[in-house]
Amino acid sequence: MIERVLICPNGNKDKDLAVTNKLCAVLLENGLDSLIATHDVDWRQVLARVQCIITIGGDGTLLHVAKRAAQAGVPVIGVNMGNLGFMTELEVAELEQLPGILRGGWQPDPRMMLQLSVERGGTEIYADYALNDAVLSGGPEARMVEINVRNGDMSLLRVTGDGLIVSTPTGSTAYSLSAGGPVVEPCAECLLVTAICPHRMDVRSVVLSAERKLELSVSARADAWLSVDGNEAFAVRQGDIVTVARWAKKLTLMRVKENGFMERIGEKLS
């Protein structure tokens, strides 16, 4: 039963916290307690005290808390203050609905996530998790890179161009879509591999089983940069092995509207 929630506002969108304060008042009037996440929040301590997270902003705000929410097994519902979001569920005008939703008016929408690591000389030097995607690219200088994709002893793909995106079904409507990848229903379980501006016309997106464990490496042409869910990029050198696989944990989104994803697709792509 949900009795206390954590509210995570986007300070750039809810600058004076007007929406956040209104939500706190609505919850309090209905006997629900709330905490507001600050920049120095102790996530482990706070997430042990709440039963759900409410984000206020857009898809980016929800992405910011996804890894921590999945680790703690805490469901998330998003209030949209940005453009049309694929992951947020409610608009600001629908805040009054939240008490009823939290009392049982929602369905779990589990989302597959990615687990990533970078190995250098046999030692893991980087690890992270992604709800949307992992992008290996030439970085801010837009240098051409050659990326090899393997699964164990099998070579799956070699791409020369601006980079490569490995995304979840949730991330299929993000960078992968802009790069020409397919739209995949979020409840699916698969890995999407999409090249960014490939130098060959016959290179197409590939949809792989979620059981695959991909190993990405950069050829001798240049180093590359790894960005996870749009966060600060990590420098990947020649000889490094970037491993991408399905994470054992999932993020649970709280869904209220039936066919919400298909409706958003229709609106977004029109």
Question: 169 with 190: CB under 8 angstroms?
Answer: yes
What is the β-pairing status of strands 90-91 and 76-80?
A: parallel
The CA distances from residue 4 to 48, 49, 103, 111, in Å, are 11, 7, 11, 23
CA dihedral 186, 43, 243, 216 (to 10 degrees): 80
Dist. CA 270–CA 264, nearest whole Å: 10
Which letter, b or e, does each residue of 164-174 get, where b requires 16 or more Cβ atoms within 10 Å of its Cβ? bbbbbbbbbbb
Question: 71 with 96: CB under 8 angstroms?
Answer: no
Amino acid at 147: I
Dist. CA 183–CA 177, nearest whole Å: 7
Dist. CA 252–CA 91, nearest whole Å: 19
Kindly name the residue from 14, 59, 162, 229 that is annotated as catalytic: 59
Q: Which two tokens stand for residue 106?
A: 């929602």
Amino acid at 142: A
Which residues sit opposite 243 in a β-bridge? Answer: 117, 215
59 as an active site residue: the answer is yes
Catalytic residues: 59
